[in-house]
Amino acid sequence: GIQVEQSPPDLILQEGANSTLRCNFSDSVNNLQWFHQNPWGQLINLFYIPSGTKQNGRLSATTVATERYSLLYISSSQTTDSGVYFCAVRGNAGNMLTFGGGTRLMVKP
Protein backbone atom coordinates (compact mmCIF):
# COMPACT_ATOMS: atom_id res chain seq x y z
CA GLY A 1 0.00 0.00 0.00
CA ILE A 2 0.88 3.66 -0.12
CA GLN A 3 3.53 4.88 2.35
CA VAL A 4 3.20 8.22 4.12
CA GLU A 5 6.06 9.83 6.01
CA GLN A 6 5.90 13.03 8.02
CA SER A 7 8.70 15.22 9.26
CA PRO A 8 9.82 16.34 11.69
CA PRO A 9 8.38 13.90 14.23
CA ASP A 10 8.63 16.47 17.02
CA LEU A 11 8.82 20.25 17.00
CA ILE A 12 9.09 22.77 19.81
CA LEU A 13 8.45 26.43 19.03
CA GLN A 14 8.33 29.67 20.90
CA GLU A 15 5.01 31.49 20.57
CA GLY A 16 5.07 33.73 17.51
CA ALA A 17 7.47 31.57 15.49
CA ASN A 18 6.71 30.10 12.06
CA SER A 19 7.04 26.45 11.07
CA THR A 20 6.78 24.09 8.10
CA LEU A 21 5.60 20.50 8.39
CA ARG A 22 6.19 18.05 5.58
CA CYS A 23 4.31 15.00 4.29
CA ASN A 24 5.86 12.69 1.68
CA PHE A 25 3.85 9.94 -0.01
CA SER A 26 4.92 7.07 -2.20
CA ASP A 27 2.29 7.01 -4.96
CA SER A 28 -0.28 9.12 -6.80
CA VAL A 29 -3.14 10.30 -4.61
CA ASN A 30 -6.68 11.54 -5.15
CA ASN A 31 -7.24 12.64 -1.57
CA LEU A 32 -4.86 14.38 0.82
CA GLN A 33 -5.90 15.95 4.09
CA TRP A 34 -4.21 17.63 7.00
CA PHE A 35 -5.65 17.12 10.48
CA HIS A 36 -4.89 18.61 13.87
CA GLN A 37 -5.39 16.32 16.85
CA ASN A 38 -5.93 18.49 19.89
CA PRO A 39 -4.89 17.55 23.43
CA TRP A 40 -8.36 16.04 24.01
CA GLY A 41 -7.84 13.62 21.13
CA GLN A 42 -10.28 15.19 18.71
CA LEU A 43 -9.30 15.12 15.03
CA ILE A 44 -9.97 18.44 13.36
CA ASN A 45 -9.98 18.86 9.59
CA LEU A 46 -7.56 21.56 8.49
CA PHE A 47 -7.30 21.19 4.74
CA TYR A 48 -8.46 18.95 1.93
CA ILE A 49 -5.64 19.52 -0.57
CA PRO A 50 -4.77 16.79 -3.12
CA SER A 51 -3.06 19.51 -5.18
CA GLY A 52 -2.45 23.24 -5.18
CA THR A 53 -2.36 25.77 -2.36
CA LYS A 54 -4.93 26.81 0.24
CA GLN A 55 -4.89 29.27 3.11
CA ASN A 56 -7.01 29.57 6.22
CA GLY A 57 -5.94 32.34 8.56
CA ARG A 58 -2.46 31.63 9.94
CA LEU A 59 -2.38 28.19 8.32
CA SER A 60 -1.68 27.37 4.72
CA ALA A 61 -0.91 24.19 2.80
CA THR A 62 0.66 23.32 -0.51
CA THR A 63 0.64 19.96 -2.28
CA VAL A 64 2.91 19.24 -5.22
CA ALA A 65 1.29 16.05 -6.45
CA THR A 66 3.82 15.41 -9.23
CA GLU A 67 6.63 15.38 -6.65
CA ARG A 68 4.56 13.53 -4.04
CA TYR A 69 4.76 15.87 -1.10
CA SER A 70 2.66 18.33 0.84
CA LEU A 71 3.64 21.12 3.21
CA LEU A 72 1.70 22.68 6.05
CA TYR A 73 2.76 26.15 7.13
CA ILE A 74 1.93 27.60 10.50
CA SER A 75 2.68 31.29 10.94
CA SER A 76 2.78 33.30 14.17
CA SER A 77 2.23 30.14 16.21
CA GLN A 78 0.07 30.22 19.33
CA THR A 79 -0.06 27.86 22.31
CA THR A 80 -3.41 26.61 21.05
CA ASP A 81 -1.63 25.25 17.95
CA SER A 82 -0.05 22.57 20.14
CA GLY A 83 -0.99 18.99 19.41
CA VAL A 84 -0.29 16.46 16.71
CA TYR A 85 -0.59 17.21 13.00
CA PHE A 86 -1.42 14.33 10.69
CA CYS A 87 -1.35 13.97 6.97
CA ALA A 88 -3.68 11.34 5.43
CA VAL A 89 -3.81 10.21 1.82
CA ARG A 90 -5.89 7.97 -0.43
CA GLY A 91 -4.13 6.53 -3.44
CA ASN A 92 -5.59 6.52 -6.94
CA ALA A 93 -5.52 2.72 -6.92
CA GLY A 94 -7.76 2.07 -3.94
CA ASN A 95 -10.00 3.26 -1.13
CA MET A 96 -7.69 3.02 1.86
CA LEU A 97 -7.10 6.30 3.72
CA THR A 98 -3.57 6.02 5.12
CA PHE A 99 -2.13 8.23 7.84
CA GLY A 100 1.41 9.38 8.37
CA GLY A 101 3.03 9.07 11.77
CA GLY A 102 2.31 12.69 12.66
CA THR A 103 4.29 15.72 13.82
CA ARG A 104 3.96 16.47 17.52
CA LEU A 105 4.06 20.27 17.98
CA MET A 106 4.53 22.07 21.26
CA VAL A 107 4.27 25.86 21.31
CA LYS A 108 5.69 27.46 24.42
CA PRO A 109 4.45 30.83 25.75
Partner 1 sequence: NAGVTQTPKFQVLKTGQSMTLQCAQDMNHNSMYWYRQDPGMGLRLIYYSASEGTTDKGEVPNGYNVSRLNKREFSLRLESAAPSQTSVYFCASSPARGAFFGQGTRLTVV
Q: How far is the CB of 47 from partner 1 (least distance, A)?
A: 9
Q: What distance lies between CA 21 and its chain's CA centroid?
A: 6
Q: Which of residues 3 and 76 has its CB atom nearest to partner 1 in the complex?
A: 3
Beta-sheet pairing, 59-64 with 52-56: antiparallel
Q: How far is the CB of 76 from partner 1 (least distance, A)?
A: 26
Let me know if 26 is exposed, middle or buried by CB neighbors in 10 A (0-12, 13-18, 19+): middle
What's the rounded Cα separation, in Å, for the pair 94 and 85?
A: 24
Q: Which of residues 48 and 79 has its CB atom nearest to partner 1 in the complex?
A: 48
Degrees, nearest 5: CA angle 35-62-88: 35
Q: Which of residues 16 and 94 has its CB atom nearest to partner 1 in the complex?
A: 94
Q: How far is the CB of 16 from partner 1 (least distance, A)?
A: 27
Q: Which of residues 6 and 19 has its CB atom nearest to partner 1 in the complex?
A: 6
Residues lying near partner 1 in the complex (CB under 8 A) are found at 1, 31, 33, 35, 41-43, 45, 48, 86, 88, 90, 95-102
